[in-house]
Structure 1
Amino acid sequence: MKDLCGERLGAFEVESFLGSSRMGSVWRARRIQGGGARHVAIKVLTIRMAEASDQEDFQAGRERLAQLRHPHIAKLLDGGFLEETRPYLVMEHVVGLPIDAYCEEHGLDVDQRLRLFLQACEAVTHAQLRGVIHGDIKPAHVLVKSDGHVRILDCGVANFTRAHGGYAQPEATTVETQAYASPEQLRGGQGTTASDVYSLGCLLHLLLAGAHPHESALDSPAALREAIFHEPFPPPSERVAQSADQAPYRRIQGDLDAVTLKALRKQPHRRYGDSAELGDEIRRYLNRFPVHARQRSSLDHAAGFLRRNRKSTVLTSVTVVAIGLGGQLALRRNEPKFAHGRTTLGVGAPSSREAPNGTPTGTNTGSNTGTNTGTNTGTLSEARGHALQARGEFLVQSSQNGEAIAALEEALGIWRALHGENHPDYARTAECLGLAYCVEGRKPEGIELLRQALAFRRGAHAAPDHPDLAWSLLNLGSVLAEEDAKEGVDLMREAATMYRRLGIRPR
């Protein structure tokens, strides 16, 4: 390789050597003529183009790549020929760390890593929508600057080089390039949107698990190719499960495993169609929606929502419908055996107008004389209790937990004074308040109230299965499961079994 330091290429003078690959050598240069970026990176390609038609193709391709304007794509600024036949590209000089090294150095959690990965997906999507396939996605080409923004390098250069005879054979590529190349690329095929998805899947596995999917084969190119062609990929959570900190495992296991493994399928048509689809899945996960890669039951949706999204969990019928348990409300409307009377906002335990044994309270009872068993003060207190309970539930929906707690605590005091703790209104309010406590970090108090609500509902319903009881099991179980408590898992399994027996499905 010829030393280019001190040579002038167009408006730039080469200052230092940055690195090389089978695709070409990269040099740092400074602008000595005209305006624009002071320092740039110049990639001198290994291929030679002696024919005029090839040089015209190069110029056309360079112009197409130069039109890519995206905040996460390193800009292509210029290009030309060295020694009349060696093409070179002048690009934005990006100073940053490979994305995996940046994540480790800054101790990023799972969601922060996913947001960086999403920047890479958005950049690749921008290129794909303009007919440009990256073709060589790997950590060295996905840098993160000191400001936390991703820059994709060499976008479209690999496919362009292969099309003109550069490292057409897979053996001519580096181990890192092979490690992130799709099976069809290793067989000599051109890059496609599906192969970019595969490479992004390898990158996603690296960010989640801290290792390449076939880490053990990286020392042997032959073993690596054999693994990529024939061996199944381990889910990223499998490696994370071996670490002392189990929090990342619980975040990755399930949805993110499914997304990663779909991107890494060996058959191109079984992957995500393009990087936009993969990016949409990551957004769904970050926004706490179920991912398409994983087929789950309605109870899985509910439990996952509760575990991952405690801050925005809605504790009323609106939430139940939204997360796939709308059948609970439909069951109440359509099956009289579960209709215990009016309930505030249409969900939860029976209202205070019916005691556990079905006897009305606070209303006319037993005779036609209109004798009232409650006092005016009791009626007013009960009305205030219902108003506070409804307000508290509304505030929880709006994530205004501080105000919600104040309203629910007052309502709970009213129910305790009027009916004691063995009453459906007390149980309903205790459950809502308990979850609000958990959101605000007051878990011991919250868990105690959730246990009270569950104990009441276990004793209140003669039938072994009831939607309210299943819901209480799920609430307490999901909170305890966050602490990796066996009791939490057992309660959630009991809830799942009960929902199946009740036949509740999303409506």
Structure 2
Amino acid sequence: MSSYTDHFGEPDSPRKFAMLLGAARALPASERESFLVGRCADRSDLLARLRDALQEDEPTRSSGLSAPDPPFAGVQAWIAGEDDGRDAGMRRFGPYRLLLLIARGGMGEVHLAERSDGEFEQLVALKLVSLPTPGLIRRFRQERQILARLQHPNIARLLDGGVGEANIPFYVMEYVDGVPITDYVVENRLDVAATLALFAQVCDAVQYAHRNLVVHRDIKPSNILVDDDGIPKLLDFGIAKVLEGSSGGNATGAGLQFFTPNYAAPEQLLGGNVTTATDVYALGVVLYELLTGCNPYRLRRNESLEQAILHTEPMTASSLAERAGPGSARQRRMRGRSLRGDLDHVLQTAMAKEPERRYASAEALKADLCSHLEGRPVKARGTGTAYRLRKFLQRHRIGVALAATVTIALVVATAFSLWQAGIARRQAARAATEAATASAVQEFMIHAFTQAEPWRNGGHPPNVLDLAESALDRIDVELQGQPPAKVKMYRTLGRLFRVAGDVRDSAKAGQRAVAELEKMPSAAPADLHDARMEWFFSLISTGDYATARRVLENASAVVPGDEARRIAIEDARALLARSAGDLLDYDRLEQAIPARTAAFYGEVSVRTAQARWHAFEAALLVGHYAAAQTALEQVYAINVAMMPVTAPLRTEVLADQLVVAAKRGRPEAAVSLAERLVARTRRLFGVSGDLADSLTKLGKVQREARQAHAAIATLAQADALLADPRFGNAFRRAANAAELGRAYLDAKQPKAALPVFAEALKAYVGADDPRGLALRAGMARAAWLRGDASAAALLRDAVESARKHQLAELPEILSWLAEAEHGDASETLWREVLATLEAQGRPLSSLAFDSHRALARLLGARASAGDAEAQWRLALAQSITLYGEGSAIVAETLKEAAQANRVEAATLLQRALADVAATERPAQRLIDRVREDLAAIEATPPHAPG
């Protein structure tokens, strides 16, 4: 029988219903119908239920009460629209009322139910016999007796039982709101160690059942649900067997096969004796699937699943993970390496064809998994001396031994790689050269890392970067006459420096590697290309764009006919354009790359998804929001085609939705999305760089929504995380600091903004680095707010630089200068702000509202009543759309508009009423309140506009 809760991907799943309903509620009302139709094109019944649920929301929304949160809000709505043919009497079982059919199997049905006797409210899973034959009732009662004896934190608890009004037996279990363990591992991106730790809890549950003389006989992922707290629960003992002697023996009955073939042991398929070893086999299959993402049996032509289980040895998990597992080729190789050895042997032992060759118990399986996690020998590998010695060394590496192990691993990996290349090409001369290179590299690295010995450094091991810098300066001397070894060391150190954030030394190492290769007549073109590309990326990080452009052009000449590298060159050109501030060229390049990538790698591929992602970012940056939305949908479609809609993927899509919402003039919606993003990221990843990025996004949209003080608090949290080198680097922290500084400016706290901008500037090299221009403009704005007479000139310089580099921040910098200028100069700048926003695709934004209001004030001061009124009407329309009818900003705008135009107040209000009435949410209450204010306004002298 299937699990008590389906995962959200199933067509009749309450999770899917709840997910769709929650997503629809998050959208503006005008977009919900198209969203639902697109997701339910082949499910008219599901579409109707979703529409009904959204319709039922309306009274709640209009009353000002918030709707209940998913998943139970979605479940209740599903229930309201469901009619499974039962009459009222058939829907009650004692104090429990059936709500929703969750699953149906050969033995009965499982329903979501609620206790509704007034004592207390509780959602439960209620199981009943749908067709009460004597045999099924006997097995049902046995299952209830089995569950009554099992009290374990990883086994779903029996709560109650009895006989319903129609003489149908039932029992009640805790409702597990979770997902199958396979989905949980994917959704939460668990690594091998975390997966094994989770699975160990399942072994505990199975071992507990075995100690109580119960064999489950149907262990599979859908019978192991993991809740939001990461606790796995073993479910569905419907075909379990009691090992102690009892009448009836095998409870399934002669000739009946109540098990899932994919996870069935050979003895189950043959009708043999079922023991605890049968469950151990199923645990092995589930673990294999968790670690590889695939079932162990890949059928050959004309081979049945039964034949494969009985006669075929499954491919080792490490080999299958490398060939067919999820992720990129590099990720698959890394996964395969992590499984090779101990875990391959563990799985082979658990899934042995003969029960006597398997682990003696689930506890023994868990013990080997724990040994592997702790670096101790596993029993499945035997007792070889060399193996045990290797495990002993792995467990006891500390201090200098750690540095030595890293060094040896690097040397061995290099030598092995070079040896493989020599064998593959069968060129004895090159093999000899590579062997010499490996030997030279080995000697050099061992010598360099002897500096890690504490006695040489006053008892303290030196920093790894210090050792690398020292090594960089000694390569030319100590490896003199050995160009291949020099190149190997320079490139290795260059990568190390870049990862560690030392971009200057990374560029220095890259330059030296290229210089050595250019002097070598035998250098392979591909090697020279790759070294130049590594140098290029380091140069980009230093801000030396002129040299980076020259190096990139040299690299592009090396790879005629190599389409993969040519696509990489185009990617690099786009990165250079963005870094150098040529945003239009950046967008042009990024929009052209996806088609070329899809033609080479295929549409459904990681590379194409990345290319379309970059196209989304480029379109967003230059303000082409419709194109950005299209690219985002394409990325999402590719990811869904490649893998399940996992929690991390939903988090990424949520992040992109909030960016688009913010850019398209929906700040309140964007804040709501961003808050959900932060909560989800915190739950999935904890304290991490991902959480810092989510907080930065939230701070940005809080600024757009005029929540300056909230933005300051949020961005300060992100800064505290990014200060930790585990979670960020100088550039990410500087980008967050730029937002924090602008939030201080929004809050009119220039004194606090100045040191934030100054600290962020340290990350950028060169006065013309476009990433630093916006920071310098912010410093000029802060100086102007503090009354510095020279600030206006600084702002003019900032505007010129922003225009030159087409900075995305140009509208905001223009607005700062517009505030600092007067008269015609100010008016011209405000109009340029609006024109730039229009060109960026942001005609609806808080900055556009500011611009219309500022122009209205300027024109009103000149007695240009008609022009001023037009700007007030535009400002009013923007404020209502952006902030909602009941907001203080809308009320203040109406008041100021009427106060500045006393003679035209009635006309203004009539036109405003017409404008507001045409919106989705007519602001009648607001207009009534403003009418009352006008009576007071007319009794007072005109207010001089500021």
TM range (shorter): 0.5 to 0.7
| Corresponding residue of 2:308 | 227
Give the CA deviation at 1:24.
2.5
Structure showing greater Rg: 2
**Cα drift, residue 46 of structure 1:** 5.9
Q: Which residue of 2 aligns with 1:378?
A: none
Which residue in the other structure is 1:8 paired with? 92
Deviation digits for residues 314-333 of structure 1, max 9, x if unmatched? 959xxxxxxxxxxxxxxxxx
Structure-1 separation of matches of 2:162 and 2:250: 18
Correspondence for 1:214: 297
The answer to which of 270-279 and 236-245 deviates more is 236-245
Q: How does 1:255-266 map to 2 (within 5 A)?
A: 255-266=342-353
Match of 1:302 among 362, 384, 389: 389
1:354-376 CA-to-partner distances (Å, cap 9, x unmatched) read: xxxxxxxxxxxxxxxxxxxxxxx
Cα distance between partner residues in 2 of 1:104 and 1:48: 39
What is the distance in 1 between the residues matched to 2:285 and 2:381?
Answer: 19
Preserved contact between residue 5 and residue 16 of structure 1 (Cα < 8 Å): no
Is the CA contact 2:115–2:121 (under 8 Å) kept in the aligned structure 1? Answer: yes
Match of 2:266 among 178, 183, 186: 183
SS of the residue corresponding to residue 244 of structure 1 reads helix
Corresponding position: 1:129 with 2:215: no
Aligned equivalents of 1:129, 1:97: Cα separation in 2: 27
Q: Is the 8 A contact 1:4 1:14 kept in 2?
A: no
Q: What pairs with 1:275-290 in structure 2 (closer than 5 Å)?
A: 275-290=362-377
Q: Structure 2 matches for 1:148-227, cutoff 5 A?
A: 148-155=230-237, 157-159=239-241, 163-165=250-252, 168-170=255-257, 173=259, 177-189=260-272, 191-216=274-299, 223-227=304-308
Classify the secondary structure of the residue corresponding to 1:293.
helix
Contact 1:28 1:40 in 2 (8 A): yes
Letter in 1 for 2:194: Q
**Greater strand proportion:** 1
Extract unaligned runs of 5+ from structure 2.
1-82, 243-247, 324-328, 403-449, 472-477, 479-946
**Whole-Å Cα distance in 2 between the matches of residues 443 and 247 of structure 1?**
29
Q: Supply the distance in 2 between the matched residues of 1:237 and 1:447 (Cα, whole angstroms).
A: 39
Conserved? CA contact 1:65–1:132, under 8 Å: no
2:341 corresponds to which letter in structure 1?
A: G
CA offset at residue 42 of structure 1? 1.8
Query: Is the CA contact 1:22–1:167 (under 8 Å) kept in the aligned structure 2?
Result: no
**2:321 maps to what in 1?**
240
Residue 407 to residue 251, structure 1, CA distance change in 2 (3 Å) = closer
Q: Is the 8 A contact 2:92 2:164 kept in 1?
A: no
Q: CA deviation at 1:49?
A: 5.2
Instruction: Give the superposition deviation at 1:116.
Output: 0.8
Once the two structures are TM-superposed, the CA of residue 77 in structure 1 deviates from its matched residue by: 1.7
1:253-402 to structure 2, matched below 5 A, reads 253-295=340-382, 297-304=384-391, 306=393
Distance in 1 (alpha carbons) for counterparts of 2:307 and 2:295: 15
Aligned-partner Cα distance in 2 for 1:129–1:50: 29
Q: Deviations over 1:116-135 (max 9, x none)?
A: 11010011111111111111
Displacement of 1:313 in angstroms is: 8.0
Deviation readout 1:411-466 (Å, 9 max, x if unpaired): 2268xxxxxxxxxxxxxx9xxx9xx77xx866965997xxxxxx9xxxxxxxxxxx
Residues 240 and 165 (structure 1 numbering): CA distance in 2 closer, same or farther, change over 3 Å? Answer: closer
> Shift of residue 32 of structure 1?
2.0
- Conserved 8 A contact 2:239-2:251: no
Cα gap change, 1:142 to 1:58, in 2 (>3 Å): closer
In 1, Cα distance between equivalents of 2:274 and 2:202:
17
Match of 2:106 among 13, 19, 22: 22
Q: Note the C-alpha offset of 1:33.
A: 3.0
Closer/same/farther in 2, CA of residues 158 and 442 from structure 1, 3 Å limit? farther
Stretches of structure 1 lacking an aligned partner (at least 5 in a row): 317-404, 415-428, 449-454, 456-507
Once the two structures are superposed, residues 3-62 of structure 1 have per-residue CA deviations (whole angstroms, 9 ceiling, x without a partner) of: 5575112221111111222233211111123757711112224674549xx968865652
Q: Secondary structure at the match of 2:304?
A: helix
Any idea what the Cα deviations from partners look like across 1:164-222, whole Å, max 9, x if unmatched? 4469533x65xxx11111111122346421000000000010011111101447x99x7
| Contact 2:376–2:391 (Cα < 8 Å) also in 1 | no
Deviations 1:94-141 (A, max 9, x none): 011111111111111000000111010011111111111111100000
Measured in 1, the distance between the counterparts of 2:277 and 2:261 equals 16
| RMSD over equivalenced CA pairs, Å | 4.0
**1:116/1:206 CA distance change after superposition, 3 Å:** same
Deviations 1:148-169 (A, max 9, x none): 1111111464437994446953
- Which structure has more relative contact order (CA 8 Å, sep 6+)? It is 1
**CA offsets per residue over residues 249-287 of structure 1, 9 Å max, x none?**
222100000000100011111101111111111111111
